[in-house]
Amino acid sequence: MENNTFQVDRFWKLVVRNLKSLKKYWVQSTLIIAGFPLLFFLINISPMRMIIDLEERTSFMFTMVGILMIISPFMLFFNYNHPKKGFTEVMLGASVLEKYLVMQLACLIFIPLTTVMIFCAMDSLLALLIPFFYNGFVIKEIWQRPIDWQEITFELLFLQAILFFNLLFVRKKVLKTIGVFILTTIVIITAMVITVTIWKSSGSLELVNIEFSLSERGLFDINANDHPLVVLLMVTRIFIQVIVPPAFVIGSYFILKNKRY
């Protein structure tokens, strides 16, 4: 295998190879994604008296894009570290860095972009041909919506976590990943409950009504007069959003680099 450097032409060949190897997947995905606007149109003209309006279609598309991006490592690279099925990928004449960048590119950019393009293309076609039953354009609504950085940050966090566990686990990846998420949630909640209990029992924490919203606070917006619980939540938020994602990114790369068959 080539040394661990980056070459543009070799990287591009690897991108093209991955696209060609997933032809069947892209055809199926295109039909499914394009089928949702058609389904919404059928609901609008059905006797059920339900109307899927522009706002609901746009919200659905954003949700679908987020979900597909998060689970894309399982969809595209599920067998990458399989002892038999993944052996071909190991023998490719490309560096580990190039293979890893292809993974990130596919999950972060290609999946979301193609999903939006396919959905909006069918949505616009229906809106142009049958505006009475299918009013408005999702593509136009996208540009008018403010960017929800909080949501994007958590989507990126879950994506990098799933990419990491997809490379870490060889068998029963989905079940093990779900188990890790559940266990992590339990540990975090337990740790916070124990911390609050210790503070309360020591008399250093006065439990009062706290009006606090993470969405209204900047990531590092911690004030000197904040309640200790607020500070704890903010510190936990910084750790989850700032420390954990890069750790998963670095961890995924080193798992891929040191994988042995």
- Residue-wise pLDDT for 27-86, tens only, equals 888 899 999 999 999 998 888 778 889 999 999 999 999 999 999 999 888 888 776 666
Q: Are 5 and 79 found together in one domain? A: yes
d(C-alpha 112, C-alpha 66), whole Å? 8
Q: Are 135 and 63 found together in one domain? A: yes
Q: Are 113 and 156 found together in one domain? A: no
Q: Are 141 and 163 found together in one domain? A: no
Q: Are 174 and 246 found together in one domain? A: yes
Report the number of distinct structural domains present in the chain. 2
Q: What percent of the chain has pLDDT over 90?
A: 41
d(C-alpha 249, C-alpha 161), whole Å? 8
Q: Are 108 and 235 found together in one domain? A: no
d(C-alpha 248, C-alpha 242), whole Å? 11
- State which of 92, 121, 145 marks the end of a domain: 145
Q: Are 167 and 38 found together in one domain? A: no
Q: Are 141 and 194 found together in one domain? A: no
Q: Are 98 and 206 found together in one domain? A: no
Q: Are 170 and 137 found together in one domain? A: no
Give me the domain span that covers residue 246: 148-261
* pTM confidence score: 0.84
Q: Are 197 and 135 found together in one domain? A: no
In this prediction, residue 216 carries a pLDDT of 66
Alpha helical stretches, state H, 22-137: 23-45, 54-77, 87-90, 96-105, 111-129
> With left for phi above 0 and alpha for psi between -120 and 50, is residue 239 left, alpha or beta?
alpha
Selected residue with higher pLDDT from 150 and 157: 157
- Residues in CB range of 123: below 8 A, 6 or more apart: 37, 57, 61, 137, 138, 139
